[in-house]
Amino acid sequence: FDETINQRLRGVSRMESLEIILEGSPLTLSPEEKTRLAEEKNDRYRALLGQLTPADMEDDVRETLRALRAARLKLAVGSSSRNAGFILHQLQAEDLFDGVCDGTQITRSKPDPEVFLRAAGLLGLPPADCLVVE
């Protein structure tokens, strides 16, 4: 696939990303085969994520998040990934956020606003009082 397809993969669910990749393929896969492939991909991905350490988060990112918390801003993660909590755990960054809304809590992936609306709800804030930083 090319850069255009790669950009379309950002923020979408595992199954949606597989569908995007398969658009240009002559393959016809059953729903069961698609599920198996998506699970296999995720198993490999989680194995790689298991190698993450706190050193994999840039110091500037960690310090920025700490400064925002020190300024008493509420912070949440809004991610379509079902692995967001695991990643935060591996990075030892759970304490930097007041809430995490991930793919386990939503039914529609980005660009649908569901993940952001739920993240705002976790913070107890109206969406109009929130800012999304990618």
Q: How confident is the model at residue 51 (pLDDT cuts 50, 70, 90)?
A: very high
d(CA 87, CA 46): 9
Q: In the prediction, which pLDDT does 58 show?
A: 97
Average pLDDT value for residue range 97-107? 94
Q: In the prediction, which pLDDT does 127 show?
A: 97
Cβ(46)–Cβ(14) under 8 Å?
A: no
Phi-psi region of 102 (alpha: psi -120 to 50; beta: other; left: phi over 0): beta
Q: What percent of the chain has pLDDT over 70?
A: 100
pLDDT higher than 80, residue 130: yes
Q: What percent of the chain has pLDDT over 90?
A: 75
Q: Which two tokens stand for residue 2?
A: 């090319």
Higher pLDDT, 23 or 11: 23
Q: In the prediction, which pLDDT does 99 show?
A: 97
